[in-house]
Structure 1
Amino acid sequence: MSLPVSIRPATAADLPAILDIYNHAVLHTTATYDHTPVSLQSREEWFAGRQREGFPVLVAEDDGGAVVGWASYGPFRPKLGYSRTVEHSVYLSPAAQGQGLGGQLLEALIAQATTEGYHLMIGVVDAENDGSLRFHERHGFSEAGRLPQAGHKFGRWLDATFVVRRLQEMDAPGHGEQ
């Protein structure tokens, strides 16, 4: 694989690669608790929703133009009181892992979320995924709690770990304000 050289906003043309990367994680890891691969149509609907709601989808592209990773954030919960909090995802192709690319994608998300005025970024990580937990710690996240047996996959119960990073200090919005 050629080393990644750019991170850029995703386009609809990137969705097949985003789908392949995500579905690999579905089939082989506990990075997502989805059990079955998702369809291109579902990724198209997800992408359209992200665009409509103003949330980023970024891709990492190697010097040959191949998408080797992607990252996004979206709403943490739909209630107004969570409007300054986002939940993120970062996924890499197996060949792109361990080269610092995930960190580049995550730092780009953090920068964008900070610029857009978000206060807190949350990640949900399988508690047995030590690599992802260390990755988040290196990027300023701390463990905020574990939900024992919150999910299941591959015939076993899985604990979900919430990791958080405060993006910036700010006063809380007034009651009823976003």
Structure 2
Amino acid sequence: MIRDAKPDDAEAIAEIYNDAVRNTTAIWNDIEIDAQNRRDWIADRQAAGYPVLVWEQDGEAVGYASFGPFRPHDGYHLSVEHSVYVHRDHRSGGKGAQMMEALIIRARETGFHVMIAAIDAANTGSVRLHERLGFDHVGMMPQVGKKFGRWLDLALLQLVLDDRSQP
């Protein structure tokens, strides 16, 4: 079941986040966070009108997804960047895709024009998922990040959410 996150989900979300920090290049960060950090993050996102969704299974959040501002400048206010993470023990079965679809619906309902994905270019599974959901490749930024002692390339993909010719 996909639902809006609650403060009680913060511990599970922190665990998912920290596993991604420790073991993947999905998050280009080396610093782990605690449940209070995620409680504050959930509250801040929701107060700003951005969704934080969780995939609940057996009463536990096993995945989460959100979108927020792409960049802080006024000219980008109709564009959002998203994130989707699933607990390592629950990564099969299409949870990530279904949470992405829920985010896309929310972005359209809220009136956003473009959703942006910034993905480690070596993460072919995530790139393929975005392609299946209609995202187009719009850029590649070689060696802009580092983790685990190596350079990382950033693939940029975007989905145009509506057919407006003018903002």
Smaller-chain TM-score range? Answer: over 0.9
Give the one of 24, 34, 38 matched to 1:39: 34
Distance 2:155 2:85 in 1: 17
CA offsets, 1:99-137, max 9 Å, x none? Answer: 101111000000010011100000110011011101111
CA offsets, 1:63-95, max 9 Å, x none? Answer: x11111000000000111101000000000011
Q: Secondary structure at the match of 1:67?
A: strand
1:98-109 to structure 2, matched below 5 A, reads 98-109=92-103
Contact 2:16 2:87 in 1 (8 A): yes
Give the one of 20, 32, 46 matched to 2:15: 20
1:70 counterpart = 2:64: yes
**What is the number of residues matched between the two proteins?**
167
RMSD value, Cα: 1.0
Distance 1:95 1:142 in 2: 29
Give the one of 120, 124, 137 matched to 1:130: 124
Gaps of 5+ in 1: 1-5, 174-178
Contact 2:5 2:42 in 1 (8 A): no
Give the counterpart letter for 2:54 in structure 1: V
Distance 1:172 1:13 in 2: 41
Contact 2:21 2:31 in 1 (8 A): yes
Give the one of 153, 164, 168 matched to 2:162: 168
Gaps of 5+ in 2: none
Distance 2:164 2:2 in 1: 28
Regions of 4+ moved over 2 Å:
39-42
Distance 1:155 1:41 in 2: 30
Q: Secondary structure at the match of 1:25?
A: helix
Q: Among the aligned pairs, what percent are the same residue?
A: 48
1:11 counterpart = 2:16: no
Contact 2:108 2:161 in 1 (8 A): yes
TM (normalized to structure 2)?
0.97
How far apart are residue 171 of structure 1 and its match? 3.6
